[in-house]
Amino acid sequence: MISPSRRNLVAGLSLCVILFLCLGIYAEAESSRVYIVYLGERQHEDPQVVVNSHHDLLTTIFGSKKAALESILYSYKHGFSGFAARLTETQARAIAELPEVVHVIPSQTHKLHTTRSWDYLGLHPGTPDSLLSTVNYGDGVIIGVIDTGIWPESQSFNDEGLGAVPSKWRGRCDGGELFNTSNCNNKIVGARFFAKGIIAKLGGVPLSLESKREYLSPRDANGHGTHTASTAAGSFVRNASFGGLGLGLARGGAPRARLAIYKACWGPGVCDAADMLAAFDSAIRDGVDIISVSVGTDQPPQPGYLDNQNDRSIGAFHAVARGITVVCSGGNAGPFPQKVTNGAPWIMTVAASTIDRSLPTAITLGNNRTLIGQSIYFGKGVGGQKSLVFSADIARDNADPSSSTSCDAGSLNSTLAKGKIVLCFTGANDPREQYLIAASTVFGAGGAGIIFAMHTINILIPFSLRPAVQVDYEIGTEILAYIKATRDPTTMISLTHDTIGKVVSPKVAYFSSRGPNSLSLDVLKPDIAAPGVNILAAGSGFKPFFFDSGTSMACPHVSAVAALLKSLHPHWSPAAIKSAIVTTASVTNRFGGPITAEGGPRKSADPFDFGGGHIDPNRAANPGLVYDMGVADYVQFLCSLGYSSSAISRLTVKATSCEARGSVSELNLPSITISGLKKNTTVSRTVTNVGPVRSTYRVKVEAPSGVRVSVEPQTLSFNNKAESLTFRVTFSPVHEIQGDFSFGSLTWMNGEHVVRIPLVTRVVIQDSYADIS
């Protein structure tokens, strides 16, 4: 008889297509793989006692202490208790049965998800009385960045004029390959790396695609970690640019905050859960104030917050319980609904938006008509008119016509493409991927340039040496008409110019992952939008500054603002910081019109696109009221999801139980979502006054369509005896229908402060509708 693991081996071998997959399945089938054994809150103050308890537990399973010690990769002992170890499936099952174990999960891997943006957000250096100058540019706050490490020689990490390392810092600077303790300074106060999980899985660390390197040290071979860290807390660097584009003063949002670097992502951006948890565990002990994590998965979220695949959720829970704000990217799986990741309510989940930078590139046709596209192109070889062709007219023999129209790999005849500028149109695929594929097809076939027509022109990928210009369909169609009507069509492409303030912005970026939060519909995600398109920030040695786009770039923008708020209000909880950011967010663009969302039919952005709206740091500094929460609230939330008391009691040292299973909608979030509204439903919220002690607020409601909303009381009067007040909101469906999601808002105003939260409802007839749709 074939045991289950033998059968896996057979299936695994036939599935073995690429090296990584092969190694992964092999490791699993060979009887042992890395599991994370999560024990919840640590049961003892002394980390050594916690470690010993891990060894004892494993010894009972292995029957020998030596074997137990050999199997263990990490003991998590600071922020929470648990360990990562190589186990067979049988051993893992035996451990899962032990009463002190919350759960045992196989360690999964995740993916990683550019300085105009700070001025754009209103954080101008040198402006008196602004948030930035009030908190001395974030001096003394420590931002922990879990990512691909750091390029310490980048000018963005110079510590000129910075005081000593803050005394609360308890972390380390670990040396390794091409990195030693002298690489840390008063800016990079600590740097560590965690690779045991990825090595156990792949047999080594994968290499970065661009640099073809990796370093067993905190040094960044990828550039992603350096980019995100410098976006959050880069020092002032004058005259930074990418080949002259975006030229200006580069800096992070909190330019005097300190950085603690935790490298847990390797090569092309692969992050193993065992390594991620080790990074969280260290960061919690080291005394960071904020943890910034631009990591996630573009796969649909796995169920549960404490179960499968949820290392970030677990790490973040224990961080938030200790007052550390955790900010994560929401993913780049947009514009389709329900793909947002990192959806735990204790995490601040970030969507990406465009800024007002544009990179116009002139396309002058042979008939002297000039059209404008977008590109990042500053190379040579522009001069004069070049032959222009439509890709479908130079298809390789037998190529499928649609594949040549979109310039798929191998679809073009290189004899005909050589030296020409080729016009292509996106097909049904993701336009970003298609743009990359098309450019490499055209350049691979010897083309001189590509004009690529797609329905959004905001996501630029730098092809700095040959022009790859994006145009919208209207311009693409005009160029095609010119080609069809002309005997020898030609065009000239000019160098890109960097322009600011000439485009409507912000817009929610095409790629930004959208809600609803498929893990719990009634926890609104994402929470907030921040700049994440064409962001210029520092890179690794081979590219000192570069443009990049993604929610990965948006996340450190919010981390920096959280750091400034933490500096201004040291006693605010992570929930209070999140509330301040969400309730003061902007829902209109610079021209007073609604913020729109790219990627669908032209529409105003709604809370599934950007949560509370677009971040407004200066307003967040003084929100008036906050929707606060603590561990007890998160525990009640887990109870309402049906976690057992025994699982939850291990999450916190204080005894907790799940006597009252409330509804998820009751969690004191700065938003209210009722996804299954069948009959009149009342939820309550509590707001805490953080403005003037005596203050009276009045409510204003914009009801979601098809729903009546009433608020009781309509006025909240705060004074020194009433710092926190509770109000009730009743939602009444107008018609009995199976509805769709609709959106509104609830705003408290006192003449000075405007405290706005989104309302999201879906009217249903059958109770089960919410579950089956």
Residues that bind ligand NAG (CB under 6 A): 178-180, 182-183, 239, 241, 244, 367-368, 396-397, 413, 415-416, 680, 708, 732
Q: Are 674 and 731 in contact (CB under 8 A)?
A: yes
Two structure tokens written together for 298: 């573009």
Which residue, 55 or 396, is less far from ligand NAG as judged by CB?
396
Of the candidates 329, 552, 559, 671, the residue annotated as catalytic is 552
CB of 767 to ligand NAG, least distance (A): 16
In residues, how long is the chain? 773
Give the number of other Cβ atoms within 10 Å of residue 420's Cβ: 22
Which is nearest to 712 in space by CA: 698, 700, 728, 701?
Answer: 728
- Give Rg (Cα) of the chain: 27
CB of 560 to ligand NAG, least distance (A): 25
Q: Are 560 and 257 in contact (CB under 8 A)?
A: yes
Whether residue 147 lies in the annotated active site: yes
Which residue, 130 or 681, is less far from ligand NAG as judged by CB?
681
Two structure tokens written together for 510: 């095409």
Which residue, 239 or 715, is less far from ligand NAG as judged by CB?
239
Q: Does a cis peptide bond (omega within 30 degrees of 0) precede residue 713?
A: yes
**748: enclosing H helix or E strand:** strand 742-749
Task: Supply the DSSP symbol for 737.
Answer: S
Q: Which residues, other chains included, contact 182 with Cβ-Cβ below 8 Å and sequence gap of 6+?
A: none
Of the candidates 54, 103, 113, 224, the residue annotated as catalytic is 224
Of the candidates 147, 286, 522, 548, the residue annotated as catalytic is 147
Give the number of other Cβ atoms within 10 Å of residue 717's Cβ: 13
Q: Are 677 and 731 in contact (CB under 8 A)?
A: yes
Whether residue 110 lies in the annotated active site: no
Please report, to the nearest 10 degrees, the dihedral formed by the alpha carbons of residues 465, 470, 475, 478 taken in order.
Answer: 50
Could you give the angle at which helices 224-233 and 551-568 cross, rounded to 10 degrees? 30
Which residue, 186 or 732, is less far from ligand NAG as judged by CB?
732
Please report, to the nearest 10 degrees, the dihedral formed by the alpha carbons of residues 21, 26, 32, 36 taken in order.
Answer: 0
* Alpha-carbon torsion (544, 547, 550, 554), positive or negative: positive
Q: Write the DSSP string, 457-502.
A: --------SS-EEEE-HHHHHHHHHHHHT-SS-EEEEPPP--EES-
Which is nearest to 558 in space by CA: 260, 256, 264, 123?
Answer: 123
Dist. CA 254–CA 252, nearest whole Å: 5
Q: Are 62 and 68 in contact (CB under 8 A)?
A: yes
In a 13 Å sphere around the CA of 68, the CA atoms on its Cβ side amount to 18
Which residue, 35 or 727, is less far from ligand NAG as judged by CB?
727
Q: Are 359 and 387 in contact (CB under 8 A)?
A: no
Which residue, 708 or 728, is less far from ligand NAG as judged by CB?
708
Dist. CA 508–CA 352, nearest whole Å: 6
Helices (H) and strands (E) in the chain, counts: 22, 40
The 3-class secondary structure across 356-389, one letter per residue, is: CEECEEEEEECCCCEEEEECCCCCCCCCCCEEEE
Whether residue 54 lies in the annotated active site: no
Which is nearest to 668 in space by CA: 698, 635, 624, 642?
Answer: 635
CB of 557 to ligand NAG, least distance (A): 25
Which residue, 404 or 470, is less far from ligand NAG as judged by CB?
404
Dist. CA 718–CA 741, nearest whole Å: 34
Which residue, 452 or 731, is less far from ligand NAG as judged by CB?
731
Which residue, 5 or 464, is less far from ligand NAG as judged by CB?
464
Dist. CA 283–CA 196, nearest whole Å: 17
Dist. CA 484–CA 473, nearest whole Å: 16
Which residue, 247 or 461, is less far from ligand NAG as judged by CB?
247
CB of 389 to ligand NAG, least distance (A): 12
Which residue, 244 or 419, is less far from ligand NAG as judged by CB?
244
Two structure tokens written together for 482: 């010119």
Q: List the catalytic residues.
A: 147, 224, 552
